[in-house]
Structure 1
Amino acid sequence: MNVRELALEAYTRITEEGGYSNIVLNDIIKNNEMESADRGLLTEIVYGTISKRLTIDFYIKPYIKKKIRRWQKSLLYLSVYQIVWLERVPNYAVINEAVDIAKDIGGPGHANVINGILRNFERNPLRDIGGVKKDLSRLSIETSIPLWILRQWKTHHGMEGAEKIARALNTHPVMYIRTNTSVISRQELLEKLQMDGHDVEKSALHPDAVKVHGGDILRSALYKEGYFSIQDVSSMLVNTALEPERDDVILDACSAPGGKGLHALEKMTVRHVDLSDIHEHKIPLIKSQAKRLGLENFNAFQGDAAAHDYSRMYDRIIVDAPCSGLGVIRRKPEIRYERTEQDIGPLVELQLDILNHVKNYLKPGGILVYSTCTIHQMENENVAYTFKKQNDDMEFDPFSIDALDFEGPFKQILPHEAGTDGFFIARFRKKEK
């Protein structure tokens, strides 16, 4: 199968079968012999088409006069993305290949439909999005963010804020890695990676963070030897709020794949970390990461954070709760279409159930850090205030993020502020008896 056939397979598995974009693409690349350039093109076409889906729909809609098959629509979307956004690929090549794919799948009749729509689309100017009168509708089409999400952002961040968030989430994500400071300093890691030919630099946002510019850093021997992990810097800031101290016993209650709990363990100041997750099949992943990083003094086990009996008390607890994921849209572009407004209520209930349960295992004077990778007030500030109101023994506890000039009990990190994922962090302290 060539790149565009593989792109159609990947797009179908993601949009129709509920596959995660990164997992689907990794699986297809792993199972097909591909040159580096072809891997890059495949990734660009699939991620790009998903990220621009509402824009593409606006552009192509007038040319689809009759009902077509779902696979035909997917093939059209993939082709339109290449015609509009990939200048290095000639239009005729995109169209000819789409026609060949359609012929292989459905025969000459289906191929003629694809050919007619794409030829008609190519010879006409693009529809003017600027002609859409309503501001939010226009922004939705321009950024391919569903209206219900934009309405929520506008309510809490204003129209200008909603636009900044939406546009930031449509840029290419920056890759960050987290230095395993139990075995190497950040400066030493930088020097080793640069000697291996990687374009890397320090990040001012966290003392363990390194920004990576291009290249397949996961193929580096330094990764396999446990010198670093892949983690967005906004997620590393959970450790800033946690402030683990020597001899702490810590619980990472919704742990998989283990990044935040293992980060605490890497600081070499804690006695023990328990890493639990509701999904039993993810526990080996946590263990394999800990082994790769050369970490000990941990226990990884299956446990529902809303009900599990942890049978011990903790100095600090991390709750990186299940959430709508709207802060990581640029890394997982399909999330914006999979989530609905009706999903938020049940998520809020689950988040509060988890917080209200795990706080029973927090020592008096202990710290609980609640975090999500979303930008939704109901899941973030609302959950934080509700949890505090429901528990007289819990109080907000201020923390600082110097790089963001922040001090307070909770912080909504917006993606345009520092080029990170959208993230929320709140810190609580259990009152002394």
Structure 2
Amino acid sequence: MNVRELALEVYTRITEEGGYSNIVLNDIIKENNLDPSDRGLLTEIVYGTISKRLTIEFYIKPYIRKKIRRWQKSLLYLSVYQIVWLERVPNYAVINEAVDIAKSIGGPGHANVINGILRNFERNPLRDIGSVKKDISRLSIETSIPQWILKQWETHHGLEGAAEIARALDTHPEMYIRTNTSRISRPELLERLQLDGHDVEESGLQADAIRVRGGDILRSPLYREGYFSIQDLSSMLVNTALEPKTGDTVLDACSAPGGKGLHALEKMPDGHIDMSDIHEHKVPLIKAQAKRLGLTNLSTFRGDAASHDYPGMYDRIIVDAPCSGLGVIRRKPEIRYERTEQDIAPLVELQLEILNHVKNYLKPGGILVYSTCTIHQMENENVAFTFKKQNEDMEFDPFTIDALGFEGPFRQILPQEAGTDGFFIARFRKKEK
């Protein structure tokens, strides 16, 4: 199968079978032993088409005048993405390949349908998104973010703020790595990566963060030897709020794949961390990362954070709760279409259930950090205030993010602020008896 046939297979698995984009892509790449250029093209076509789906739908809709098969629509969307956004690929090549794929799947009749729609689309100018009168409708088509999400952002950030968030999430995500400071300093890691030819620079937002531009940094021996991990910068700020101390006992209650808990462990060589997750199959992922990083003072186990009987009391607890994930749609573009407004209330209930349970295992004077990778007030500020209201023994506890000029007990980090994922962090302290 060539790259465009594989793109249709990947896109189908994601949009029709509910596969996770990163997992499906990785599986297809391994199964077909693709070279780097084909890997890059496949990833670009799939992620690009998913990310631009509502825009593509707006562009192609006038040319689909009869009911067509689902696979035909997917093939059209993949082709339109290449015609509009991939300048290095000639339009005739995209169309010819699409026709060949349609012919192999459905025969000459289906191929003729695809050929007619794409030829007609190519010879006409793109529809003007600016002609859409309603602000939210126009922004939704422009950024391919569903209207219910934009309306929520508009309520809390205004129309201009919602547009800034949406446009920031409509860009390629930055890549960051986290220095394993239990083994190497950030300046030393920077120097060694630069000597190996990587384009890297330190981040001013978090003391362990390094920004990476281009290149396959996971192929670096320094990664295999455990000197750094892949982690978004906003996620690293959980450790800034947690402030783990030498000798602390920490619980990471919703841990997999383990980034936040292992980050804490790198800061407390004489401490210990329990890392649990509700999914049994994810626990080995935590163990594997800990082994690669050379970290040993931890326990890993399956545990439902809403009900698990944890083995002791903790100085600090991390709750990186299950959430709608609206802050990471650049990395997981399918989330925007899979989530609905009706998903939020059950998530809020679960988030509070987890917080109300794990706080029973927090020592008096201990710190609890609650975080999500979403931009939704109900899951973030609302959960934080409700949890505090429900628990008289818990109080907000300020932390600082110097680079953002922030000091306070909770912070919604927006993607346009520093090119990070959208993230929320709140810090609580358990009152002394």
Q: TM-score, normalised by structure 2?
A: 0.99
CA apart distance, 1:196: 1.1
Which residue does the alignment assign to 1:432?
Answer: 432
SS at match of 1:31: helix
1:244–1:269 contact (8 Å) kept in structure 2: no
CA distance in structure 1 between the aligned counterparts of 2:155 and 2:268, rounded to whole angstroms: 43
CA distance in structure 2 between the aligned counterparts of 1:358 and 1:35, rounded to whole angstroms: 47
Asked if residue 360 in structure 1 is aligned to residue 368 in structure 2, the reply is no
Which residue does the alignment assign to 2:51?
Answer: 51
Which residue does the alignment assign to 2:95?
Answer: 95
User: Which whole-Å deviations, capped at 9, do the CAs of 1:390-423 have from their partners, x for residues lacking one?
Assistant: 0000000000000111000000000000110000
Which residue does the alignment assign to 1:403?
Answer: 403
Which residue does the alignment assign to 1:77?
Answer: 77
SS at match of 2:337: helix
CA distance in structure 2 between the aligned counterparts of 1:252 and 1:33, rounded to whole angstroms: 37
Asked if residue 276 in structure 1 is aligned to residue 244 in structure 2, the reply is no
Q: TM-score, normalised by structure 1?
A: 0.99
2:248–2:268 contact (8 Å) kept in structure 1: no
SS at match of 2:425: strand
SS at match of 2:271: strand
Asked if residue 339 in structure 1 is aligned to residue 333 in structure 2, the reply is no
CA distance in structure 1 between the aligned counterparts of 2:106 and 2:375, rounded to whole angstroms: 42
1:209–1:233 contact (8 Å) kept in structure 2: yes
CA distance in structure 2 between the aligned counterparts of 1:403 and 1:259, rounded to whole angstroms: 22
Amino acid at match of 1:401: I
User: Which whole-Å deviations, capped at 9, do the CAs of 1:331-373 have from their partners, x for residues lacking one?
Assistant: 1100000000000000000000000000000000000000000
Greater mean alpha carbon deviation, residues 16-25 or residues 370-379: 16-25
RMSD: 0.6
CA distance in structure 2 between the aligned counterparts of 1:172 and 1:205, rounded to whole angstroms: 19
1:264–1:270 contact (8 Å) kept in structure 2: no
Matches within 5 A, 1:369-384: 369-384=369-384
1:399–1:407 contact (8 Å) kept in structure 2: yes
Amino acid at match of 1:301: F
Length, aligned pairs only: 433
2:182–2:269 contact (8 Å) kept in structure 1: no
Which residue does the alignment assign to 1:223?
Answer: 223
Which residue does the alignment assign to 1:108?
Answer: 108
SS at match of 1:119: helix
Which residue does the alignment assign to 2:232?
Answer: 232
Amino acid at match of 2:237: L
CA distance in structure 2 between the aligned counterparts of 1:329 and 1:264, rounded to whole angstroms: 26
Asked if residue 318 in structure 1 is aligned to residue 318 in structure 2, the reply is yes
Which residue does the alignment assign to 1:134?
Answer: 134
CA distance in structure 2 between the aligned counterparts of 1:210 and 1:128, rounded to whole angstroms: 40
Amino acid at match of 2:148: W
Which residue does the alignment assign to 2:349?
Answer: 349
Asked if residue 295 in structure 1 is aligned to residue 295 in structure 2, the reply is yes
Asked if residue 173 in structure 1 is aligned to residue 160 in structure 2, the reply is no
Which residue does the alignment assign to 1:22?
Answer: 22
CA apart distance, 1:69: 0.6
User: Which whole-Å deviations, capped at 9, do the CAs of 1:280-301 have from their partners, x for residues lacking one?
Assistant: 0000000000000000110010
CA apart distance, 1:270: 4.8
CA distance in structure 2 between the aligned counterparts of 1:374 and 1:395, rounded to whole angstroms: 23
CA distance in structure 2 between the aligned counterparts of 1:41 and 1:417, rounded to whole angstroms: 30
Which residue does the alignment assign to 2:186?
Answer: 186
Which residue does the alignment assign to 2:161?
Answer: 161
CA apart distance, 1:246: 1.5
1:130–1:138 contact (8 Å) kept in structure 2: yes
Identity among equivalent pairs (%): 86
SS at match of 1:176: strand
Amino acid at match of 1:171: T
CA distance in structure 2 between the aligned counterparts of 1:258 and 1:188, rounded to whole angstroms: 24
User: Which whole-Å deviations, capped at 9, do the CAs of 1:149-170 have from their partners, x for residues lacking one?
Assistant: 0000000000110000000001
CA distance in structure 1 between the aligned counterparts of 2:198 and 2:19, rounded to whole angstroms: 31
SS at match of 2:261: helix
User: Which whole-Å deviations, capped at 9, do the CAs of 1:217-249 have from their partners, x for residues lacking one?
Assistant: 111111110000000010000000000111110
CA apart distance, 1:195: 1.2
Runs of 4 or more consecutive aligned structure 1 residues displaced over 4 Å after TM superposition: none
CA distance in structure 1 between the aligned counterparts of 2:404 and 2:9, rounded to whole angstroms: 42
Amino acid at match of 2:411: K
Which residue does the alignment assign to 1:41?
Answer: 41
Which residue does the alignment assign to 1:255?
Answer: 255
CA apart distance, 1:35: 2.1
Which residue does the alignment assign to 2:390?
Answer: 390
Amino acid at match of 2:69: R
Which residue does the alignment assign to 2:200?
Answer: 200
1:248–1:269 contact (8 Å) kept in structure 2: no
CA distance in structure 1 between the aligned counterparts of 2:305 and 2:241, rounded to whole angstroms: 20
SS at match of 1:54: helix
CA apart distance, 1:33: 2.5
CA distance in structure 2 between the aligned counterparts of 1:100 and 1:377, rounded to whole angstroms: 48
